[in-house]
A and B are shown apart, each in its own frame.
Chain A
Amino acid sequence: MKELDPMVFVAVLQEMLGAWFWLIVAIAVIGLVGLIAVIIRDRRIVHRPLVYAEIAGVIGGFAAIFIMQAVTHSTMADIGGPIDWVLGLVVWAVGAVGTTVLAYLILRAAVRRLA
């Protein structure tokens, strides 16, 4: 195996997602920058919206698995070996973290009265 070039992964991801690629990158960047901005503004992580965001995150994780299976014409019954559970957990975690960050951001940035 030769050295891996990270740009290859970017190239493949771009082919995979098409126009969605830049949309997803934009959402991720906005989410991260926004999160850092509200934490700096608040000088702390506010508890109540965090709990709501985490609840949304749990649901978001399962939604990610559901979307993944819908896109790939598969079901929970297709989970075979241990690596399949790992993939399921990774998909869940990505969905959960993404949803939590975005939900917290929306709650702190847009719905101030909840704070």
Chain B
Amino acid sequence: MPVHVPSSSPDTASNGLALRRRDLVRLLGGLGAGAAFGLLPHPASATPARVKTSAKIVIAGAGAAGLAAASRLADRLDGATITLIDERRPHYYQPGFTLIAAGLKPPSYSISTTKDYVARGVDLIEERVAEFDPDGKKVVTSTGRAVPYDYLIVATGLVLDYAAIAGMDTALIGKDGIGSVYAGPDAAHATYLEMARFVEKGGVGLFGRPATEMKCAGAPLKYTFITDDLLRKQNTRAKAELIYTAQNKVLFSVPIVSEKVRMLYADRGVKVNYEHILTAIDPGRKIATYKTPTGSAELKYDFIAVVPPMRAPEPVRNSPLKWQEGPFAADGWMEVDRATLRHRRYPNVFGVGDVAGVPKGKTAASVKWQVPVAVDHLIASIEGKTSKEVYNGYTSCPLITRIGRAMLVEFDYNDNLVPSFPGIIAPLEELWVTWVMKETALRPTYIAMLRGNA
């Protein structure tokens, strides 16, 4: 398990018994209630008495991380002013986009309303954050309203930079063989329709990922597997060539997972072009242009799943909150301590979710483990104490290898595999149980997380 914290439960008195019971609960949880997308339940509120405070806490962004943080803070604090700021009213369950793009779920599967998850006692300002002023301890919204804070949690997510690919536009998604799973539930559905046409007719299918940090680096790999599976089920695999373009020399940042995927791609007949970064797309001629170490390369396609470069949102990029140097500076990711998610220069500021400038993990599973750590440190600061909570980089990816099977890949900052069910669910094995968890248990666990219950 990612975070080992000494337990105060009487169970630990007889360690053997405690372990057995824990394994049993894990197994039941995994099979029944679906503990896995990080996914053993993170016990929220088996915590001490509520902390009385008059602190003003602002949470910028009401996505997965912002909502989960608000729920936990509301649960643990008494008297605090907690304000969420986000202009977007629908809430998107993004891990569902892959299933929509596989044709298994309708767009409505991923759509709900932000307000449904705003915890009682939390104020929601439906405006966009325009500016962060950490020196003046305030944020300014799109209407010019200044919102002062004692503590700030930045959970703005990231922006999809489609414009960075010459010729690409979100309006092209769903036309002439162009798909993109990331742009939203409707785009994911439009991508499915294009992919289904490709599955019928065959041709060249291009997949890949950007050179920037990205949400769920497993998603483009999964989508390649899913397309291969649908081609086989339609008996059209022979008419199609699938090419995965990796941005560097590996398929996944965790070496052991990269190797496994390399073997599976070899088995499925997916060709891999390493060190190919998508720079331009010509929808008319159906040609994608890539930057490679030996110059630019063109590939003709009949279907392409575009994954755009991803960066921190502009207000973060333009603020002192971003990394000033190092690998996360160029795209403006927030300069937070990787273990506590606390800003390295502004101790009353935290960054959680996609916007955090930490290695690995822009996933809901990361959020699930980051938020409780950041919240605990924030509350400890209010109390004048220090928290011992540590986020070890845990993230998880149910890597679908065909419709009906997936590998439960879980890892940390150090590229270690950290399986939730060691000896029970093998991390690099294609399993039905993992697929069942992905399809039935993930969204409920995610929603329970938004409410601060998981």
Interface residues of A (CB under 8 A from B): 1-9, 11-16, 68, 71-75, 77-81, 83-84, 86-87, 90
Partner pick for A16 among B26, B41, B440, B451, CB 8 A cutoff: B440
Complex Cα gap A71–B436 (Å): 9
Q: Given A16-B33, A83-B424, verify A73-B104 contact (CB < 8 Å).
A: yes
B33 near A4: Cβ-Cβ < 8 Å? no
Query: How many B residues are at the interface, by size bracket?
Result: 35 or more
A residues less than 8 Å from B34 (CB atoms)? 12, 16
Complex Cα gap A79–B434 (Å): 11
Q: B3-11, B52-60, B173-181: which one contacts chain A?
A: B3-11
B7 near A15: Cβ-Cβ < 8 Å? no
Shortest CB distance B35–A (Å): 8
Task: Known A-B contacts: A2-B5, A12-B441, A84-B433. Give 19 more (CB < 8 A).
Answer: A4-B40, A5-B43, A5-B44, A8-B44, A8-B453, A8-B454, A9-B28, A9-B41, A12-B448, A12-B454, A13-B33, A15-B443, A15-B448, A71-B440, A78-B404, A78-B405, A78-B432, A80-B405, A84-B432
Q: Inter-chain contact count A-B, CB under 8 Å?
A: 123
Complex Cα gap A67–B16 (Å): 37
11 contacts between A and B (CB under 8 A): A1-B22, A3-B9, A3-B11, A12-B445, A13-B32, A15-B445, A68-B436, A77-B404, A78-B405, A78-B432, A80-B429
Complex Cα gap A81–B429 (Å): 7
A74 near B403: Cβ-Cβ < 8 Å? yes
Partner pick for B41 among A8, A14, A86, CB 8 A cutoff: A8
B171 within 8 A of partner (CB): no
B residues less than 8 Å from A11 (CB atoms)? 448, 451, 453-454
Shortest CB distance B29–A (Å): 6
B240 within 8 A of partner (CB): no
